């Protein structure tokens, strides 16, 4: 009895729970694959819950973010520089990811045993003009119910912008309402994430179990996952150690690796927790005390970047969308891949700084190009270690952006 009581007091970190769930799912799929129909429903519920939070989370986050930025009149110049940095680095991350995934093609010749066929994927046949026209919704409620992400994102940005043009009473009321909705949606998202170990067990056991009798298919699947993981990890490392520092040096003529060394504690916290939000207080303290960035700039740029600047997450979403398309045997055109980049950029704006939020935003990207959410099932196997790597890159993009803005504003820093 004392042993049981002691075991109840042991709290296992979420990332370890997720890894245990994945490991058990692989073992169950391999050695008890005849029973996977008893576990499949766990994964189905998890994916449905993930899809459930997408629309309200993205909509409230974008409305809140746009309306909040609109009020920062005195920080207009700083906001402009920040957004230019965020958009530039995120687009570069997406482009790097697309180059790598199109060169190595990890999803080719992989049978994922997914439920939908290529003929059921309709959105990939849309022309560029169709994509542009479809951004403007005829009925926003219908667009939300059908999970049409581009129209929802467009309307959210428009709605948030015109909140800032309303009277004081209306602006205050709507800002408070959407702040409240966003806070509630974050809590619901946390609830979904809490059940991720169980959901992952169901998803992974079904994915592995579907091919347990075919050792060649299993070898191809895990080999492709290894290449896919290496592409994302390698892309994040290249972006974090070469692209961002190179762009930073080009603009400032300063050594970015000095900043990286000073901010090591915050970056390590982001890596170990897989949460940029968890590392934000440490980042704010260290960038002010060690780097020397003023409180005015750091308190604006870092929280804003924590919400809208997700370089590593955007790279992950681009690579994963193309990887799943390749697994379906779909060759996306240049225009369709541009849609993936733009959607990843906008989805990254709505990505909350919480563990596994990238999964929620990945659903946004997949739906924008008409790929089914079942494709998420395979990549969940390697989600946790990749989440840790890309979260560090997310925070590094925020830190370097805040430092760059401070330097361009004439501040004297300790670098």
- Crossing angle between the packed helical segments 334-349 and 357-368, to the nearest 10 degrees: 150
SS3 of residue 370 by DSSP: coil
* pLDDT at residue 112 tops 60: no
**Residue 296 reports pLDDT greater than 80:** no
Distance between CA atoms of 386 and 100, rounded to whole angstroms?
Answer: 16
Distance CA 150, CA 350 (A): 12
- 246/243 Cα distance (integer angstroms): 5
Q: Once rounded to an integer, what is the mean pLDDT over residues 295-323?
A: 83
pLDDT at 46: 81
HSE (side-chain half, CA atoms, 13 Å) at 283: 34
Give 407's pLDDT tier (boundaries 50, 70, 90): very high
Residues 303 and 72: their CA atoms lie apart, in Å, by 13
Q: Which residue has the higher pLDDT, 212 or 12?
A: 12
pLDDT at 262 over 90: yes
Least confident among 23-32, 81-90, 179-188, 350-359: 350-359
Give the torsion through C-alpha atoms of 221, 222, 226, 232, to 10 deg: 60
The answer for residues whose C-beta is within 8 angstroms of residue 159's C-beta and 6 or more apart is 63, 66
Q: How many CB atoms lie within 10 A of CB 205?
A: 29
Q: What pLDDT does 236 receive?
A: 96
Evaluate if residue 317 carries a pLDDT over 70: yes
The answer to whether 82 touches 401, Cβ cutoff 8 Å, is yes
pLDDT of 25 strictly over 90: no
CA distance 317 to 35: 32
Model's pTM, two decimal places? Answer: 0.67
Average pLDDT over residues 230-237: 94
Given a contact cutoff of 8 angstroms between Cβ atoms, the answer to whether 303 and 323 are in contact is no
What's the pLDDT at 113?
52
- Provide mean pLDDT across the span 100-106: 91
For residue 124, name the pLDDT band (cuts at 50, 70, 90). very low
Q: Examine the pLDDT at 84 and tell me if it is beyond 50.
A: yes
Q: Tell which wins on pLDDT, 19 or 390.
A: 390
The predicted pLDDT at position 218 comes to: 61
Contacts of 292 (CB under 8 A, 6+ apart): 406, 411, 412, 413, 414, 415
135-149, 214-228, 342-356: lowest mean pLDDT where? Answer: 342-356
Give pLDDT, residue 209: 77
What does pLDDT average to over the chain? 79
Q: Which pLDDT score is estimated for 388?
A: 80
**What value does the mean pLDDT take over residues 396-403?**
95
Element (H, E) at 397: helix 383-408
Output 246-250 pairs: Cβ under 8 A, ≥24 positions apart.
247/88, 247/89, 247/92, 248/400, 248/403, 248/404
Least confident of 122-126, 163-167, 246-250, 322-326: 122-126
What are the tens digits of pLDDT across the range 344-394?
777 666 555 455 566 667 777 887 777 777 777 767 767 767 888 988 999
- Closest listed residue to residue 60, CA positions, set 231, 174, 218, 198: 174
Tokens (6 digits) for 156: 């959210």
């Amino acid at each position: 009895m004392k042993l049981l009581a002691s075991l109840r007091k042991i709290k296992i970190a979420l990332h370890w729970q997720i890894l245990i769930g994945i490991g058990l799912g692989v073992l169950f799929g391999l050695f008890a694959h005849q029973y996977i129909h008893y576990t499949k429903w766990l994964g189905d519920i998890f994916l449905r819950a993930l899809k459930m939070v997408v629309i309200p989370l993205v909509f409230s986050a974008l409305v809140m973010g746009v309306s909040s930025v609109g009020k920062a009149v005195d920080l207009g110049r700083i906001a402009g520089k920040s957004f230019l940095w965020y958009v530039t680095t995120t687009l570069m991350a997406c482009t790097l990811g697309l180059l790598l995934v199109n060169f190595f093609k990890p999803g080719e010749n992989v049978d994922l045993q997914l439920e939908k066929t290529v003929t059921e994927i309709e959105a990939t046949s849309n022309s560029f003009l169709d994509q542009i026209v479809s951004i403007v919704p005829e009925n926003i409620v219908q667009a939300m119910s059908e999970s049409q992400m581009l129209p929802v994102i467009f309307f959210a940005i428009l709605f948030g912008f015109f909140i800032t043009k309303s009277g004081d009473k209306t602006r205050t009321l709507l800002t408070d309402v959407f702040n409240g909705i966003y806070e509630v949606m974050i809590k619901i998202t946390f609830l979904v994430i809490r059940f991720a170990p169980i959901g992952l067990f169901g998803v992974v056991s079904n994915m592995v179990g579907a091919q347990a009798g075919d050792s060649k298919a299993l070898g191809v699947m895990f080999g492709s996952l290894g290449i896919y993981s290496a592409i994302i990890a390698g892309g994040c490392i290249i972006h974090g150690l070469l692209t961002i520092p190179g762009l930073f040096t080009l603009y400032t003529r300063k050594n970015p690796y000095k900043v990286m060394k000073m901010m090591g504690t915050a970056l390590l916290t982001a890596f170990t927790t897989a949460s940029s939000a968890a590392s934000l207080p440490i980042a704010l303290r260290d960038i002010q005390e060690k780097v020397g960035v003023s409180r005015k700039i750091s308190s604006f740029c870092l929280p804003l970047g924590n919400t809208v600047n997700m370089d590593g997450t955007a790279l992950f979403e681009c690579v994963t969308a193309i990887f799943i398309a390749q697994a379906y045997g779909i060759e996306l055109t240049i225009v369709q891949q541009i849609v993936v980049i733009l959607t990843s950029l906008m989805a990254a704006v709505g990505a909350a700084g919480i563990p596994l939020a990238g999964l929620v935003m990945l659903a946004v990207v997949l739906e924008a190009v008409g790929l089914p959410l079942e494709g998420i099932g395979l990549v969940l196997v390697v989600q946790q270690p990749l989440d840790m790597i890309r979260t560090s890159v997310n925070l590094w993009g925020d830190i370097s952006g805040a430092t760059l803005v401070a330097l361009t504003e004439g501040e004297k820093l300790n670098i």
